Structure 1
Amino acid sequence: MKKMFQICAFCCLFCFQLIGVFADDEVKSVSVMEGKSVTLNISVTEIKSITMIMWKFGSNESLIAKISKFSKITVYDNRLKLDNQTGSLTITNINTIDSGLYKAFITCSSCKKTTHTFNVTVYDCTFCCHATEAVTRLVISAVVGVAAVFFMVYDITSRKGEK
């Protein structure tokens, strides 16, 4: 009985360790319209205990921004903003080539190293339109539809008159 309890306790601890390992690997999906801004929040509460936050992009994990106690904030693109209070990354004037995986690697002096992953999808808004444009398109479609029906009825009635 004691041996069974020990095995059960070991399995529970092992499972909790696995959950702790994989919790950092959760991928958050973010969708944003082209030309807008998006903020990738990592929700750091103890910024003082953090040694470094490195933001990387893409499958080759290119370094795009970092903040550290020693070298402060460094960004490698003028459209990127790194919040020195939260460690969150804001991408302004985003475009479709910015779609992909963003990872924040957090190194902390008093905690374990963590990773936050975001899958950012930037959608092209070629078919998006404002309300007035949508109404205009709807009215034009209705007029074209009515005209098509009118010509069909005219054609059918004119053919009946020929017989």
Structure 2
Amino acid sequence: MNTKYLRVLTLVIFFICCWSLTGVFGDSVSVTEGDSVTLNTDLAEIHEDEDILWKCGAKYFTIAEISRDSGIFFTHDGPDGRFRHRLKLDHQTGSLTIMNTTTEHAGVYELEITGVKVTSKTFNVSVYARLPVPVISRNCSSSSSSNCSLVCSSSVLSVCDATLSWYAGMSVLSSISVCDLSISLSLPLEVEYQDKNTYSCVLNNPISNQTTHLDINTLCRHTCADSVHCCGSTEALIRLALSALVGVATVILLVYDIRSRRAEQDQAHIHTLGQ
């Protein structure tokens, strides 16, 4: 076969495969938990003879329907009520908005438009958890006289789509992403006390990120040898409270002892007078 025709045939097969995959997998839509997401029909306006159905789930249960000719504009809660008070229909275009999304709303949605011809479209909706700001703390137990040991951690439990990373400028130093819902993400880093580089800790997923910048002068200005003699504010308060309790207990014991001795002396004096 001629090489030119072979290339053309290869391109045709490639585009057919891409078109087929688009039909199978549909449009991918991502949203952060708590935000709204709109699934568009791509219609400028619904025609009088067109009916629209929005379906969801593996069994494609109906969650919204429009029949302009009959004046029907309905939304449904779904069999488990997950869409209650969360759906909004655009009466002009038929687009569907899901409000205050949760991870329950992730999945496959199907749009079916019935009119002169029947057309359908699928949407793959991904809902990502809202990311917290990562926290950088110092680890004195691992620090040395020359290096400051740090730990960046996230309060969010580990999920497969969230990654915690240390950056030096724009370069990634280390990353961690653990698919384990029972632990939280944490990542260590050691820097020199006089290091002039710019460091940051980033927690990200495919659609958002949260960043905390490291201030070496503030977090590492004292060596751990110097900080051994001091303690945190919480520990200091606990020690102060315990000292106060011991002091109060000592005073109470002294007062009790003095009163007991006076009582004994009074009893002895009365006994002497009686004789």
TM range (shorter): 0.5 to 0.7
How far did 1:126 drift?
3.7
1:100-128 deviations in Å (ceiling 9; x for gaps): 011111101x2x21111111111011425
108, 119, 127: which is aligned to 1:122?
Answer: 127
Where relative contact order (Cα < 8 A, 6+ residues apart) is larger, the structure is 1
Alpha-carbon separation, structure 1, partners of 2:101 and 2:94:
19
Question: Match of 1:30?
Answer: 29
Question: Match of 1:11?
Answer: none
What SS class does the counterpart of residue 70 from structure 2 fall into?
Answer: coil
Q: TM-score, normalised by structure 1?
A: 0.65
How far did 1:99 drift?
0.4
Structure 1 residues 142-157: aligned runs within 5 Å? 143-144=218-219, 146=220, 150-151=223-224
Are 1:25 and 1:115, in contact at CA under 8 Å, matched by a contact in 2?
no
Q: Please say if 1:82 is aligned against 2:89.
A: yes
What SS class does the counterpart of residue 122 from structure 2 fall into?
Answer: strand
Question: Match of 1:59?
Answer: 58
Counterparts in 2 of 1:87 and 1:151: CA distance versus 1, 3 Å: same
Alpha-carbon separation, structure 2, partners of 1:114 and 1:120:
20
113, 116, 120: which is aligned to 2:118?
Answer: 113
Counterparts in 2 of 1:43 and 1:153: CA distance versus 1, 3 Å: same
Alpha-carbon separation, structure 1, partners of 2:126 and 2:216:
31
Q: TM-score, normalised by structure 2?
A: 0.40
Comparing both structures, which one devotes a greater share of its residues to helix? 1
Which entry has the higher C-alpha Rg, 1 or 2? 2
How far did 1:50 drift?
4.1
Alpha-carbon separation, structure 2, partners of 1:48 and 1:152:
77
Query: Structure 1: which 5+ residue stretches go unaligned?
Result: 1-14, 156-163
Are 1:24 and 1:114, in contact at CA under 8 Å, matched by a contact in 2?
no
1:63-109 deviations in Å (ceiling 9; x for gaps): 1001013251010132101111111000111111100011111101x
Counterparts in 2 of 1:128 and 1:48: CA distance versus 1, 3 Å: farther
Query: Structure 2: which 5+ residue stretches go unaligned?
Result: 1-12, 77-83, 135-209, 229-275
